[in-house]
């Protein structure tokens, strides 16, 4: 299966709860699996509630309105950010979750002392797009809780996640997640408010003719990124030998879901602007879960040089560059960073450009 599909066998398919229950009962580590299954289930319930709020749109006021305060990461909070965070916290209190980390919280919260899990969430990714009726989403990451406490539960390599994924609130509500052995795709049925299986074992197309990047930042990019994009823009006459399409939604979840549907590569690199030197997306609750689900679908996820899942957060809101998607293209972009053969002399498309070195 090369992309998200809806095979006839899955039409009106298995419910999320049935799927999670069967998975939880299928291995010796039943207690941990039961905790993870319950956690993903309540996150989906919170997602359904958030989707209901989004569906009403401006009938309930401007969900995208800034509420006058910045979140812990310095970004202005919007009404829907706070609503989504509250719904997720409430849902997770009913699961076996010890610790909760969120973009919207100043510090790690303790929900159930002694709980088995630690959950990191971006409650409402892309919230600046909500009033424009553009897809937004929720991103989540599940780790085992550490006996060493809250920080040790989260400040560990991303490869130690137990589950990760996202919910995208678009023309339909989709839940895409991994439990560590492949990727499942569910859709919320509006008739009965139940998430139902569409496809299991989802794979990302290994190659692509699409890339997603905010091209308005071209002048700030470091040479490897600028060179890669120049080569894509050169099309069939360039080093790639084929024409490319560029996409940019400015919603990480929407970008991710498009890549799952039809392949592609997403780039949010570090650049030369103040505050962007270490990238802009958050490692713990954005890059980690996206990288986990992407790798489980056969794709790749790097910061340019390094695999995202090998990185270890040292602060709650630590930022990182993020490049992910079709494996062939991610590997190629890595070569632009590390292989001197990918250096270029002045660009014929954009004028003089300096060289870069490994």
Q: Indicate whether 11 pLDDT > 50.
A: no
pLDDT in tens, 178-198: 999 999 999 999 999 999 999
Long-range contacts of 296-299, Cβ-Cβ distance < 8 Å, separation of 24 or more: 296/178, 296/180, 296/181, 296/182, 296/183, 297/178, 297/182, 297/183, 297/202, 297/203, 297/204, 297/260, 298/203, 298/204, 298/206, 298/327, 299/204, 299/259, 299/324, 299/325, 299/326, 299/327, 299/330
* Amino acid 1: pLDDT: 45
pLDDT tens track for 137-176? 999 999 999 999 999 999 999 999 999 999 999 999 999 9
Q: Annotated binding residue at 314? A: no
Mean predicted confidence (pLDDT) in 207-221: 97
- Determine whether the annotation assigns residue 127 to a binding site: yes
Per-residue confidence (pLDDT) for residue 74, from 0 to 100: 59
Per-residue pLDDT band for 204 (boundaries 50, 70, 90) equals very high
> Is residue 124 annotated as involved in ligand binding?
yes
SS3 string, 170-198, reads: CCCEEEEEECCCCEEEEEEECCCCEEEEE
What percent of the chain is predicted at pLDDT more than 70? Answer: 88
pLDDT at 120 exceeding the cut of 70? yes
Per-domain boundaries in the chain = 8-200, 210-342
Establish whether 122 is an annotated binding residue: yes
Q: Per the annotation, does 214 bind a ligand?
A: yes
pLDDT in tens, 44-88: 999 999 999 999 888 876 665 666 555 555 566 788 899 999 999
Nearest partner of 189 among 209, 206, 168, 174, judged by Cα: 174
The average pLDDT across 326-334 equals: 97
- What single-letter DSSP state applies at residue 15? B
Q: Tell me the two tokens of residue 277.
A: 């030197």
d(CA 344, CA 335) in angstroms, rounded, equals 13
Q: Which pLDDT score, from 0 to 100, does residue 26 have?
A: 83
Share above pLDDT 90 across residues of the chain, in percent, rounded to a whole number: 80
Max Cα-Cα span within the chain: 61
- DSSP 8-state assignment for residue 203: -
Does the annotation list 160 as a binding residue?
no
Q: What is the pLDDT of residue 75?
A: 65
Q: In this structure, which topology does domain 210-342 adopt according to CATH?
A: D-Maltodextrin-Binding Protein; domain 2 (3.40.190)
Tokens 């899955």 sit on residue? 10
Q: Is 179 annotated as a binding residue?
A: no
Residue 238 scores a pLDDT above 80: yes
Q: What is the SS3 string spanning 233-279? A: HCHHHCCCCCCCEEECCCCHHHHHHHHHHHCCEEEECCECCCCCCCC
Q: Which CATH class is domain 8-200?
A: alpha beta
Please indicate if the annotation marks 306 as binding a ligand.
Answer: no
The residue ranges of DSSP E strands in the chain, in sequence order, are: 66-70, 76-78, 97-102, 109-110, 117-125, 136-144, 163-169, 173-178, 183-189, 194-200, 210-212, 245-247, 265-268, 281-282, 300-302, 319-320, 322-325
- pLDDT for 207 equals 93
pTM of the model: 0.91
């Amino acid at each position: 299966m090369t992309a998200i599909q809806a095979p006839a066998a899955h039409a009106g398919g298995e419910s999320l709860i049935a799927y999670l229950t069967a998975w939880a009962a299928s291995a010796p580590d039943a207690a941990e699996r039961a905790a993870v299954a319950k956690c993903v289930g309540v996150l989906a319930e919170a997602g359904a509630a958030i989707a209901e709020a989004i569906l009403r749109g401006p009938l309930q006021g401007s969900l995208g309105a800034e509420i006058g305060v910045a979140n812990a990461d310095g970004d202005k909070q919007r009404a829907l950010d706070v609503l989504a965070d509250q719904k997720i916290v409430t849902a997770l209190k009913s699961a076996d979750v010890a610790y909760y980390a969120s973009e919207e919280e100043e510090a790690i919260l303790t929900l159930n002392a002694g709980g088995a899990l630690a959950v990191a969430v971006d409650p409402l990714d892309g919230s600046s797009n909500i009033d424009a009726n553009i897809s937004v989403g929720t991103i989540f990451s599940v780790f085992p809780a550490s006996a060493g406490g809250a920080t040790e539960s989260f400040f560990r390599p991303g490869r130690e996640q137990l589950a990760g994924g996202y919910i995208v609130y678009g023309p339909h509500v989709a839940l895409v997640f991994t439990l560590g052995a492949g990727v499942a795709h569910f859709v919320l049925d509006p008739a009965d408010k139940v998430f139902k299986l569409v496809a299991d074992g989802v794979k990302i197309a290994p190659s692509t003719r699409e890339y997603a990047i905010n091209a308005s930042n071209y002048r700030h990019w470091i040479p490897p990124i600028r060179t890669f994009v120049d080569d894509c823009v050169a099309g069939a006459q360039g080093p790639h030998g084929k024409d490319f399409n560029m996409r940019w939604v400015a919603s990480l979840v929407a970008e991710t879901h498009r890549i799952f549907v039809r392949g592609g590569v997403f780039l949010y690199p570090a650049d030369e602007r103040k505050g962007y030197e270490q990238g802009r997306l958050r490692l713990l609750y954005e890059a980690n879960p996206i990288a986990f689900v992407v790798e489980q679908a056969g794709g790749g996820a790097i910061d340019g040089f390094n695999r995202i899942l090998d990185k270890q957060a040292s602060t709650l809101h630590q930022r990182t560059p993020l490049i992910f998607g079709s494996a062939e293209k991610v590997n190629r972009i890595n070569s632009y960073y590390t292989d001197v053969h990918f250096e270029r002399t002045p660009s014929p498309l954009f004028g003089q450009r300096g060289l870069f070195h490994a």
